[in-house]
Structure 1
Amino acid sequence: MKTLNLLLLVLFVVGCKTPEARRPVSQSSGSYIDESVERNKEMIAKEEDYIKKVMGANSDTQYLTSADGFWYYYNEKSTDSLNTRTPQFGDVVVFDYSISSIEGEPIYAEGEKPTREYAIDKEKLFTGLRQGLKLMKEGETVSFLFPSHKAFGYYGDKDKIGSNAPIMAKVTLHTIKEESNNEINN
């Protein structure tokens, strides 16, 4: 009986021991992430320098710089003083676009991509085009020069656009329907 009581006492003492935290098998100092950030900064700087070089070679075109980190120029600009509205969140826009390399080599030629209807910031669209559409008015055609991180990034479009490829997109905005007139309202 004494042995049974002693055994129960030992089990009780061992069972009441607080659990110890397990240590990770390997610890990371964060240097991989820091190196990746530096590589990305260098890549973006090289892309932007190259885009600026291409723009410099085309000195007869007046390029504008967006606050969102890309460049653009007007192929057709609206001269109608009553046409001042640009798309806002939730508005539905109808547009056509083509995509080429920064040098102008076609990737998706005009007419290859179908006319698109898009609810501003409510549907998926690559970052640069989503931001570029917000700068346009009905009837305008604009060419945008996007660094890869504003286009299709690391993965490309998994078809014709490769990894980390800067692109040029020529976009024609046909119509803007205000959100209150949309059938897409939530």
Structure 2
Amino acid sequence: MKIKIIIFISFICFGCTKINPRRPIEAKPSTTILKETIKESIKLNKVEDTKISNLIKKDSIHNYILSPKGYWYTYNTKINENTPTPKTGDLVTLEYNLSNLKGETIYSKEILGVKKYNVDKEDFISALQSGIKLMKVGETITFVIPSYNAFGISGDGNKIGINQSIISTVTLINIK
């Protein structure tokens, strides 16, 4: 009987104490880290934009157009006929290559092969997703793409590095 009383008193004394919640070991990241990251990204984008501007200034043969999406393009072959351009959901057939800003080939069109692309329904280089919708069958356009419209801070995990701007020449073969 004494044991039951001792257990009962112990339970009342120790079982009803207020439990203090555990506090997190790490504090939440401050907004200053986010602000610093944004500032650094803006600096990197300015450096990329300067490199692209210098490349375009050196090319006196082509007339480059700045798209609202932030990439540059020039027509190598332009079709003046009133033919349709691709729209969302169309299946297009195209050839393209990728090179760096020095003009060195990263992936040739022979390696990449002919690509069938369902417009805006598949993952693809974001600048080319937009740029393909400017094209008519038979046209060839060269796109100069900053990294933030290409493979970004991760690269492609193979030949395209982090924050690397690229050039891509695309020929639209067919629209279905």
> Please, what TM-score do these two structures have when normalized by structure 2?
0.87
- Secondary structure at 2:16's aligned position in 1? helix
The alpha-carbon deviation at position 9 of structure 1 amounts to 2.4
Count of aligned positions: 172
1:108-132 per-position Cα deviation (integer Å, ceiling 9, x unaligned): 2342311000111222212122121
State the Cα RMSD in Å.
1.8
Residue 126 to residue 21, structure 1, CA distance change in 2 (3 Å) = farther
Residue correspondence of structure 1 range 48-67 to structure 2 within 5 A: 48-67=49-68
Residue correspondence of structure 1 range 73-112 to structure 2 within 5 A: 73-81=74-82, 83=83, 85-112=84-111
Unaligned runs of at least 5 residues, structure 2: none
The alpha-carbon deviation at position 173 of structure 1 amounts to 0.7
The alpha-carbon deviation at position 13 of structure 1 amounts to 2.3
The alpha-carbon deviation at position 4 of structure 1 amounts to 4.4
Alignment of 1:26 onto 2:29? no
The equivalent residue for 1:41 is 42
Q: Provide the rounded CA distance (Å) in 1 between the counterparts of 2:69 and 2:22.
A: 45
The equivalent residue for 2:168 is 169
- Secondary structure at 1:90's aligned position in 2? coil
Letter in 2 for 1:57: K
**Which structure dedicates a bigger proportion of its chain to helix?**
2
Residue 3 to residue 112, structure 1, CA distance change in 2 (3 Å) = closer
The alpha-carbon deviation at position 23 of structure 1 amounts to 2.1
Letter in 1 for 2:105: P
**Stretch moving more, 24-33 or 143-152:** 24-33
Q: Provide the rounded CA distance (Å) in 1 between the counterparts of 2:139 and 2:6.
A: 93
- Secondary structure at 1:170's aligned position in 2? strand
- Secondary structure at 1:112's aligned position in 2? helix
The alpha-carbon deviation at position 50 of structure 1 amounts to 1.1
Residue 30 to residue 112, structure 1, CA distance change in 2 (3 Å) = same
Q: Provide the rounded CA distance (Å) in 1 between the counterparts of 2:20 and 2:126.
A: 47
Letter in 1 for 2:47: K
**Stretch moving more, 121-130 or 71-80:** 121-130
Q: Provide the rounded CA distance (Å) in 2 between the counterparts of 1:112 and 1:94.
A: 16
> Please, what TM-score do these two structures have when normalized by structure 1?
0.83
The alpha-carbon deviation at position 40 of structure 1 amounts to 1.2
The equivalent residue for 2:143 is 144
Letter in 1 for 2:26: S
Unaligned runs of at least 5 residues, structure 1: 178-186
Determine what percentage of the aligned residue pairs are the same residue. 34
